[in-house]
Structure 1
Amino acid sequence: MKSSLEPIFFQNTMNKKTKLKDIIVCCEIRFDNGSAANWKHSDFCSFSDAIMKDTGVNISANTLKRIFGKITVDNDYQPQQATIEALAKYGRNIVLETPIQSENVYLKRYSSKAIVLIIGLFVMSLCMIYYVKKYKKITGIIRLSNIEGQLPQTTFFDLILPNTQDSLFVDFGDKSLLQSVNPTLKKIAHTYLFPGVFEVKLRTAEKTIANTKVLVESNKWIGLGFHNQQDVPNRHYEFTAFKTGKDSLFHIPNQQLFTLGLDTLKPLYVRLCNYASTGYKSDNFVFETTFKNKVKPNGVYCNSTQFQITGLESKIRFKFTNHGCSYRVLNFVSEQTLDGSKMNLSAFAIDLSNWTTIKMVNKNKHLELFVNGKSIYQGKYQQPLGEIKGVFLEFAENGFVKSCSLKSLDEKILFLF
């Protein structure tokens, strides 16, 4: 009896832990906030809110930190089945067929010597599996084959999938749910509801096998209103952007956002953007914009505005916050990441309630950034942006825009609002 139970038990244990690991990875990918190893408590609170909104199940931030290894737990710790099913639904709409149970019930049946021997064999098996998976090269192809429509745009891909026991997924790059694919699938399609440059990945739960890029064009300035980044693929308010009023400003009133379905009492974002093929492939340009944030009537809060220049191969994004909130600044300069939680980015904390002019000059990958004529950042990067495809200016809450432009160094207009 003993010898027949042992393989079954440890095979089940390994399968359950592998499934939970896959679920965790899928949740991390969908939440799209970088590696969970770098998440702070506030990130786990936001993650908890996202799960609650998507599944109706409330998982506390501390429980999530235990599951993701941020809080030390016993070796036999396992989350409740309802918690695992909620994570599975959020990550990729999979419900485990077999509840994950504590190992203690089974381990008590074996003597201590047998347990040591079996655990040793189990660890050796895991090491062998890890080694094979790590060094076994899995190849595949995902290739853009056709597009239909423009905003919304349905995009078609050809697939050549590997013969592997690993689960395969397509990540369409727009924060929508991962699409599970089986090895016999030859084609797949996806509809994009907002403009941008999206990296589409063919992947397992642990690594990317192949990728391609998709441009969804607007060919005009449009506005987007949404509650958080994870909502954008499914629920956002989109409108043609233009200047109004005697001061010729862009602004979308909260009342209009509320009328169209956005709860303006909750945190929201408003984005002004334009994506189109420019044919311009040089890392030599000037970006300039004048804006201000809409001020909340009272309370202590962190507000922000960020802009992004998007190339086919990479991007430049700078974020500005009100004073005291530079901890929240997260900037991307092509292959580089500037994180306000790990370095002093207090120069990016400014008075957002007043009109502010931002100017960024890029000369052959050497950047200089000015705020109201004062230089606050200088740096350089290595990876070219590729062909310039778009630009956006985004407000936490709401804001006003006087102007926004991207020009080559010889004054050729790439984007102008």
Structure 2
Amino acid sequence: MDKKKQFKNIVKSCENRFGRGDSASWKHSDFSDFSSEIQRATKISISVNTLKRIFGKISVDDNYLPQQATIEALKNYAGDYIDEDPIDQVNVSATENTTKSSSPNKSRVVRGVFLVLLLVLLGCLFLITKDKDLGEIKISSTEGLLPKTAVFDLELPSSDDSLFIDFGDKSAPIHLTKGIERISHTYLFPGVFKVEIKDSEKPLVETKIYVPSNKWLGLGFFRQREIPNSYYAFPAVRSGKDSVFHISNLQLQNAGLDTVKSYFTRLCNFTPIEKYSDNFVFETTFKNAKPNKAIYCNSMRFQISGIEQMIRFNFVSSGCSSKVLNAISEEIVSGNNTNLSRFVIDLEKWNTAKLINRNKRLQLYVNDKLIYEGVYKKSVGDLRGVFVEFEGNGYVKNCTLKSLEGKILYNF
């Protein structure tokens, strides 16, 4: 069996052992789980991007073969699932018999085999070099829950431009010096973050990291670019006669947050949930605290995060519709170039927002009035968390996410 055909056999056998159906329908989370399972079984780490190249999710040359260590790891993982092709075994036996019967033929076969092996070796060296040129980010280890420190192993892509790594949490990008192979970062916020190596124009390589909270959490902070110097976490508890979530200015000030500046408060829960990715009902009842400033754009937003994409809607006070920024999976809709005046509401009164998602078909109601209806294409993936966030301070009576059948997935 030639090396390419044998490799395809190994890949198919790995797919069979993993047991999640046709790899063509696998999502990012499946490849992430597959990478972890291979590491558990073989003690060898194969990155998600490499697996995507192997299984055709990332385009490569027709003659692509990964490094030999990767092939051996896949072969070890497949184990008894590998089904050798009996036709190729017969052909090998026939070739052996022919070479034994004729000395000149044997000499020619030896030379042919040598040339084939030489070509395969040169091809592998070329592909390995090309694979490295594409670059790669791998999460080699993590420590802690929240905060969580992640260590990333890097293979820098070939580029004549300066390279930077963006950790996805709105912290400042870090310049990558030539030859760097490892870098770490501490995440203070729970969420799903896209980590990218980019040049001055565009992202070149990416991966994702999930930082869970595994409970409801209250957060207070200045703009996220200023983290970690101005970040505070609070227990998410109900208080007051109305039994609502609210972080008072006094609490924020006692923790060291200067409430004279612009600040944000958030109620969130990032606990992983499988299934229900594009079929759910989200509902929250909220109001913003009265702003201290006489003329000010008040805002509130909520977000449902999946491992692949997110859905986020933004509400603002009167006169501020240009500041609305909604994210609907692959689509970003900005008030800068779209009329989003329907997302202007009286934030100082109690409002109830209800988002119904039926197989990527969205309907958003505010106080029982339909204000948005639309369809998206890219699945958000398995659910990873929700949040309600205020510019300034606010109150939350409830925040729930249920399946279409009424099963409670998140509930505050």
- Please list the CA deviations of residues 239-266 of structure 1 after superposition, one character each: whole Å capped at 9, or x if unmatched: 1211112321111110111121111112
The answer to whether 1:293 aligns with 2:288 is yes
- The size of the alignment, in residue pairs, is 281
- TM-score, normalising length: structure 1: 0.65
Q: Deviations over 1:60-114 (max 9, x none)?
A: xxxxxxxxxxxxxxxxxxxxxxxxxxxxxxxxxxxxxxxxxxxxxxxxxxxxxxx
Note the C-alpha offset of 1:195: 0.7
Q: 1:300 to 1:179 in 2, by over 3 A?
A: closer
1:341 Cα deviation from its structure 2 partner = 2.0
Q: Tell me what 1:237 maps to.
A: 232
Partner letter of residue 153 of structure 1? K
With normalisation by structure 2, the TM-score equals: 0.66
Q: Does 1:267 align with 2:273?
A: no
Say whether 1:167 aligns with 2:162: yes
Show the 5 A alignment for 1:72-91.
Answer: none
Q: Name the residue aligned to 2:180.
A: 185
Secondary structure of the residue aligned to 2:384 is strand
1:396-411 alignment to 2 at 5 Å? 396-411=391-406
8 Å CA contact retained: 1:291, 1:357: yes
Specify the SS of the correspondent of 1:277: coil
Q: Match of 2:197?
A: 202
2:353 matched residue in structure 1: 358
Q: Which amino acid aligns with 2:281?
A: V
Q: CA deviation at 1:208?
A: 1.6
Contact kept? 2:133, 2:156, Cα under 8 Å: no
Superposition deviation, residue 281 in structure 1: 5.0
Amino acid at match of 2:296: Y
1:386 to 371, 381, 389: 381
RMSD of equivalent CA atoms: 1.6
Gaps of 5+ in 1: 1-136
Paired residues of 2:137 and 2:154 also in contact (CA < 8 A): yes
Q: How does 1:101-180 map to 2 (within 5 A)?
A: 139-180=134-175
1:318-375 CA deviation, whole Å, 9 max, x = no partner? 0111122212111111111221121211111111111111000000110000011111
**Which of 325, 341, 344 is equivalent to 2:339?**
344
Shift of 1:277: 1.3
Letter in structure 2 aligned against 1:217: P
Report how far residue 297 of structure 1 moved. Answer: 5.6
Q: Is the 8 A contact 1:150 1:216 kept in 2?
A: yes
The corresponding residue for 1:35 is: none
Contact 1:174 1:233 in 2 (8 A): no
Deviations 1:132-167 (A, max 9, x none): xxxxx9510001222111001111222222344332
Q: Distance in 2 between matches of 1:354 and 1:164?
A: 53
Deviation, 1:180, is: 2.3
Contact 1:162/1:183 (CA < 8 Å) preserved in 2? no
Contact persistence 2:279–2:358 (CA under 8 A): yes
- Asked whether the 8 Å contact 1:163–1:183 carries over to 2, the reply is no
SS for the counterpart of 2:238 is coil
2-structure distance, mates of 1:163, 1:382: 32
Counterpart Cα distance in 1 of 2:189 and 2:292? 31
Residue type of the alignment partner of 1:359: K
- Partner of 2:245, secondary structure, is coil
Q: Does the CA contact (< 8 Å) of 1:313 and 1:384 recur in 2? A: yes
Deviation of 1:391 after TM superposition, in Å, equals 0.7
